[in-house]
Structure 1
Amino acid sequence: MRVTRTLRATAGAALTGALLLAASGTASADQVRVGQWPLEAFGAKDLWKQATGKGITVAVLDSGFRETHQDLKGKFGAGPDWGPAVQAENAKNAKSKKEDVRDHGTAMAGIIAGHGHGPGGSQGVKGLAPDAKILPVPEYKNSGQATRWAVDHGADVINMSYSEDKMADTCESIHYAVEKGVVVVAGAGNDGWSKKSYPVGCPGAIGVGSVDQTGEASSYNNYNSDMDVLAPGERVPVAMAKSDSDYRTADGSSAASAYVSAAAALLKEKFPDLTPGQIANRLVKTAGLSQAEKGKNLKLPDEHYGWGYIQPGPALRKDIPAGPAAGPLAMPKGKAPQQAVVPGADKGQDPDPPMGAKDKLMLYGGIGVGVLLVVGVVITVMAIVRRRREMAASRSWG
């Protein structure tokens, strides 16, 4: 089932917009692991030999969480306390909705860091970064404040599977996160339109759309220049909140964003010194396209496909120059990106630079040529002066 609508958040809920996942059917625990096609597609067992997300904290800004779910118990850190007024409002909203307001956040947490259950965790939802920790940041009216709270409380990656109207601090808080070395991932949305939305529209955020089992972009993806990469987002089994053993099958860019957040957690574990832009660079440089999309001779990045769907295995294994600190991430005008922490990474020493870096390389190249020209002129002038002096000296000696 392809969903063209978003699951709307209740009035007054935090993140005050659209959560980007819609449930499309129930599933039993036994069906869940078999149905987790993204893990098979990513070659998760081999991935986990490289990294599992150990030592990495992923903040999930969402509607709420069932922390006692059998596939997530023990995965959560301590979230914020927004105070009794907000808690009362959330409780009121929960009663007015048919679905549990914790469904969406529970689903995202499971995709990122679920550990499953049963013998060896062989049943239920297993996350792409199963050893990562989840920092739960439940609904709050000011997403900017929620973002800053997550940064200040140890987040390495922030997952934003929602859309909202742009608030005063929406983009500023994301830039704050990136400046602090935190990777920010945001869903593109499921309305099938080209309108700009937030937080995906903020500079510094990795914009994510959905892809199906064949590697083709989902028809419901929103599309514009904010699209960076694609990830699995159709018929994805997820943990839900009705009970500790509740599951559904869901579609949407929310699930896709959670997979990208998990992939970022794996990369942060293996490459702890890379900036958020350099983490994005590894995802971009190893992204793929379906055979059908390759035949279209797309000029990447494309507004529908970005750079293509993520491939965490190559992103972890390939020898890829760190590249500029900003990587493929646009930064707010007049503000410098976080400085590179890898020696030489901010020099643009990447033979195949991502978007945003080519202009920098051209600038460096122009400076280099200019320096060479100046040096050449100086040497020529010195040679002429020296020759004239030698000629004058020969005349006086004769």
Structure 2
Amino acid sequence: MLTRICASFLAVALTAALTVADPAPARADESWARQLGRDLGLARQVTKGDGVTVAVLSTGVDRNLPWLRGRVEKEKDFVGTDHPTRTLGTVLASLVAGDHESPFIRLASGARVLPVRILPDGEEPDAEKWWEDSDLAKVFADGIRYAADQGAQVIVMPVALMTPDSPYVEGYSRDLGVLSDAVTHARAKNAVVVASNVHVGDVPPRYFPYPASSPGVIAVNGLNEQGERHPAYSKRSGAVLVSAPATEIGVPGPSDLVYDLGGDPVAVSWVAAAVAFVKAKYPDLTPDQVARALAASARHPKGEGTYDTEIGYGIVNPDGALKEAAKLAAQGKPVLVAKDGAVPEDEHFGGGRPDPIGAARHPVAAMAGFPALMLAGVAALAGAFWLWRRPRPAEPVEGEGAGESADAAGA
């Protein structure tokens, strides 16, 4: 059972470094980023996610911010610590669903937010003790189940449990079973779970992020400025479906500050927004069908239909996903619908695996040579990201559209 986390990983996991940000972030190769900006702009001409509820499973959300006001549901708190700061969760909600003024990017700005507090922010006084004492797998699972029961169509998981992918490690089956059962429960209620395919440098390579590695989850890898897998934040894996930018982006947040957020939460937010667009227009599509729409429309540098363990089917394409979803909706009800109980492995991408990709989905870990950490059955909490704050600009920059979206994608 998950009862401990490794302290060396906690520093990377959820400690937000609140310092003044560099005002001039590095620029990216703009071709793929500008294409993503155009795809986002076209999708937002069709829908902004209106009518969809996105559950943000994080550190809680400040519901009083003007760009979220009136669209934040009552928060469910599975943490229970005193004096929550709600920093990361608020920034995530602002990115996914904030209806900001320019120059801030707007994704699914018509969606509603369901805050589910499953973690404390790193700066909270009781955070370290809570991490040490809590059964994280159960908390994560409870959060997923609650979000689905409340009717959330999209469930966003920007953090993960890094667990050894081996049936021989103590606690393996129970920990992953709790999360997999929660995902199955969500799928049965037609909720789409979007999660980070997190990689943390010091974690042994046979550790995999969950729930991202659970069948039925849309696992997301983060991209660097060149549009390639960001090795510092995302893991090479056959679980990844699509990828999105993990590079730094400015997001308005609490205390009238702008937070420069980068890493897995940014990538997951892009994909969650694309899912929200699809569910807004085609609410009856199943999670498998939504995954198919994302996969079929993704832009891969090597061409349509290409799959690899670096970026999955490619860079998320919100406009293309809507078009693919329209085709699926016209076909009527699918044959495979999530049921209570185990979700078969081959349902991960929706009704069957993709063509062979020359890599095992999850290598079976051998006991010989395992680090003491793995033998002890310890799972690390991972959420590789950076978060800085700076004063909010006094005057908005003129204009918003595909250009601004592209710059945000590649900044």
Q: TM-score category by the smaller chain?
A: 0.5 to 0.7
- Alpha-carbon displacement from aligned partner over 1:92-134 (angstroms, at most 9, x marks no partner): xx6xxxxxx5222112111210101xxxxx3364431110000
Which of the numbers 313, 317, 339 marks the counterpart of 2:319?
A: 313
RMSD of equivalent CA atoms: 3.7
Q: Distance in 2 between matches of 1:314 and 1:185?
A: 18
Residue in 1 aligned with 2:153?
Answer: 156
Relative to structure 1, is the Cα distance of residues 90 and 206 closer, same or farther in structure 2, using a 3 angstrom cutoff?
farther
Residue in 2 aligned with 1:102?
Answer: 86
Q: Which amino acid aligns with 1:80?
A: K
| 1:47 and 2:43 aligned | yes
Q: Which amino acid aligns with 1:130?
A: S
| 1:219 and 2:235 aligned | no
| 1:279 and 2:301 aligned | no
TM superposition shift of 1:23: 7.6
| 1:304 and 2:310 aligned | yes
Question: Would you say the 8 A contact 1:277–1:325 is kept in 2?
Answer: no
Q: Distance in 2 between matches of 1:272 and 1:183?
A: 11
Which of the numbers 180, 189, 198 marks the counterpart of 1:180?
A: 189
Residue in 1 aligned with 2:198?
Answer: 189
With 53-62 and 225-234 compared, the bigger mean Cα shift is at 225-234
Question: Would you say the 8 A contact 2:336–2:351 is kept in 1?
Answer: no
Residue in 2 aligned with 1:384?
Answer: none
- Alpha-carbon displacement from aligned partner over 1:281-327 (angstroms, at most 9, x marks no partner): 0110011123xxx2xx9994322111111111111134644685559
TM superposition shift of 1:81: 4.8
Structure 2 spans left out of the alignment, 5+ residues: 1-6, 24-29, 120-135, 164-174, 357-411
Which of the numbers 134, 139, 148 marks the counterpart of 2:113?
A: 134
Residue in 1 aligned with 2:258?
Answer: 247
Q: Which amino acid aligns with 2:52?
A: I
Q: Distance in 1 between matches of 2:335 and 2:10?
A: 35
With 19-28 and 184-193 compared, the bigger mean Cα shift is at 19-28
| 1:206 and 2:202 aligned | no
Q: Distance in 2 between matches of 1:51 and 1:173?
A: 29
SS in 2 for 1:164: strand
- Alpha-carbon displacement from aligned partner over 1:29-75 (angstroms, at most 9, x marks no partner): xxxxxx9x789724433222211101000001001222223432333
Q: Which amino acid aligns with 1:114?
A: G
SS in 2 for 1:159: strand
Q: Distance in 2 between matches of 1:147 and 1:38?
A: 34
Relative to structure 1, is the Cα distance of residues 22 and 278 closer, same or farther in structure 2, using a 3 angstrom cutoff?
farther
- Alpha-carbon displacement from aligned partner over 1:5-43 (angstroms, at most 9, x marks no partner): x99669xxxxxx935998896388xxxxxx9x7897244
Q: Which has the larger radius of gyration?
A: 1
Relative to structure 1, is the Cα distance of residues 300 and 335 closer, same or farther in structure 2, using a 3 angstrom cutoff?
closer
Residue in 2 aligned with 1:230?
Answer: 243
TM-score by length of 1: 0.65
Question: Would you say the 8 A contact 1:27–1:237 is kept in 2?
Answer: no
Question: Would you say the 8 A contact 1:59–1:136 is kept in 2?
Answer: yes
- Alpha-carbon displacement from aligned partner over 1:117-152 (angstroms, at most 9, x marks no partner): xxxxx3364431110000000125511111111111
TM superposition shift of 1:203: 1.2
Residue in 2 aligned with 1:3?
Answer: none
Which of the numbers 95, 100, 119 marks the counterpart of 1:111?
A: 95
Relative to structure 1, is the Cα distance of residues 337 and 287 closer, same or farther in structure 2, using a 3 angstrom cutoff?
closer
Question: Would you say the 8 A contact 1:195–1:222 is kept in 2?
Answer: no
Question: Would you say the 8 A contact 2:58–2:157 is kept in 1?
Answer: yes
Q: Distance in 2 between matches of 1:23 and 1:235?
A: 15
Q: Distance in 1 between matches of 2:304 and 2:328?
A: 24
Could you say which structure has the greater relative contact order, defined with CA pairs below 8 angstroms and 6 or more residues apart? 2
TM superposition shift of 1:217: 2.1
Q: Which amino acid aligns with 2:147?
A: A
Relative to structure 1, is the Cα distance of residues 110 and 326 closer, same or farther in structure 2, using a 3 angstrom cutoff?
farther
Indicate the structure with greater helix content: 1
Residue in 1 aligned with 2:278?
Answer: 267
Q: Distance in 2 between matches of 1:282 and 1:314?
A: 8
SS in 2 for 1:228: strand
- Give the number of aligned pairs: 300
TM-score by length of 2: 0.63
TM superposition shift of 1:175: 0.9
